[in-house]
Amino acid sequence: MSLRRSILLGLIGLAGTAPAAHAQSTAEWQAQQVAAEAKADRIMVEANQQKGLLSQYMTMRQAYAGDDSPAFRMIFGQYIGWYLSFLGDYPLAVQSFSIAEPARPGDNASPLDGGYAARPALDEIPALASNYQIVMLNEAHNVAMTRSLTVALLSRLYAQGFRYFAAETLSQKDAQLQTRGYPIDDSGFYTQEPVYAEMVRTALKLGYKVIAYEATSTITRPDQREAEQARHIYEQVFKEDPHARLVINAGYEHIVKAGVYLGGESMAEHLHRLTDAPILAIDQTAMYPRPSSQNNHPYYTAVMKQLHPDAPIVFVDAKDKPWSLRSAYDANVFFPPEKLERGRPTWLTLWGLRQPHWVSGDGCRGHYACLVEARYSNEGPDAIPADRMLLQQTPMTVSISGVEAYSSTQGVPSGVLYLRPGSYQISFIVGGEKVLHKDTITVPPQP
């Protein structure tokens, strides 16, 4: 079973109910999903034969446009979303695949109703972590906003004594990651997305020992991946350092501390059994803004309407006990509504670590679609960029969920990259990694 297949097992469980508009049985819908998944895998084999992310994505986009069946759009929409995030088109990545977050039986009462106060997540999560050996933060894989806070938290958690950082789908084959100091294409799967790469890069620069814990054996049952991930973490961290303090980034429900997951137990439950270490589980996938506001949890809507936060928040009571939507987690992060500048979300500042830097599309030499990449000058040309954006002169011929990538229909397209202070090499790329132009820029320290 491929890594992509094992990732989809959990996601289909979250989003795979049959469309109400279609009079079909659950069995029929599941059969359609299986067929759609097989087709998606065939398309990805073809796409991966193309050189460069941009060419791969164009192959995928053409295939997406050719099949509007609900099952295929649901399955392949996830693939499209991952690659759009790799290209830096974050709004369209979110539109391509979205999981609604309705109210459910058993949800705890709203934090607005019971003596809870909103606190900045960047301050409160490290305070909560002071009594824990393991901190787990989850993410929605095509919604890079849900990993943005983790990047900013790493320095705060390092100050608390955390020295290990583990990230989902990092490859154990990249034995040079720790010494090299930055991720490359072969470092993993989600590391191809610049914010994820920045998360790993930040951990390395701070001095964390970075752990690749992905399952490597053939998966024969749904929760086998969970058990193997936990075992890899135990063997690389706690077997030799039983008092280690560890930060883990994982997807969705891999971090739930209780309940049945994929017919068995989550990675967090397996890890707790192996270590008996206290775990702080922070959910970042329930309370972020969905493309359609009707798919937001009612509590999210109420909190945003009443508090209007401009940064991620969590809720705690008078005894500093955090609020969570469901008992499987210890706390929920509420992300503010997304704001765009030239089509790019302002959360790409990573909550104060980076700043916008305007870039003209002149380097595209009139060729579009054009991928603009910014790499740290002290890293090699194989490094995953600090940021990417896709420039186009005309709207996309294929839109996803009615939303198009940012483009300008007059003159030369331009946009903003989000970068830390420092020196960068900017590359303008078309087609199969053809570099049309390079610039070197310096981003000054923030005033």
Task: Kindly report, residue by residue over 25-74, the tens digit of the pLDDT.
Answer: 888 888 998 999 999 999 999 999 999 999 999 999 999 999 999 999 98
Overall average pLDDT of the 158-172 stretch: 96
**Confidence bin at 1 (pLDDT 50/70/90):** very low
**Confidence bin at 16 (pLDDT 50/70/90):** very low
pLDDT for the residue numbered 404: 43
In the predicted structure, residue 17 carries a pLDDT above the cut 60: no
Which range is least confidently modeled, 46-50, 75-79, 217-221?
217-221
pLDDT for the residue numbered 23: 55
Q: Are strands 422-430 and 434-443 parallel, antiparallel or unpaired?
A: antiparallel
- Percent of the chain predicted with pLDDT > 70: 90
Task: Kindly report, residue by residue over 340-389, the tens digit of the pLDDT.
Answer: 998 899 999 999 999 999 999 999 999 999 999 999 999 999 999 999 99
In the predicted structure, residue 209 carries a pLDDT above the cut 50: yes
Rounded to two decimals, what is the model's pTM? 0.92
Overall average pLDDT of the 240-259 stretch: 95
Task: Kindly report, residue by residue over 271-327, the tens digit of the pLDDT.
Answer: 999 999 999 999 999 999 999 999 999 999 999 999 999 999 999 999 999 999 999
Tokens of 166: 């583990």
In the predicted structure, residue 180 carries a pLDDT above the cut 50: yes
Overall average pLDDT of the 391-407 stretch: 53
Task: Kindly report, residue by residue over 114-153, the tens digit of the pLDDT.
Answer: 899 999 999 999 999 999 999 999 999 999 999 999 999 9
Average pLDDT along the chain: 90
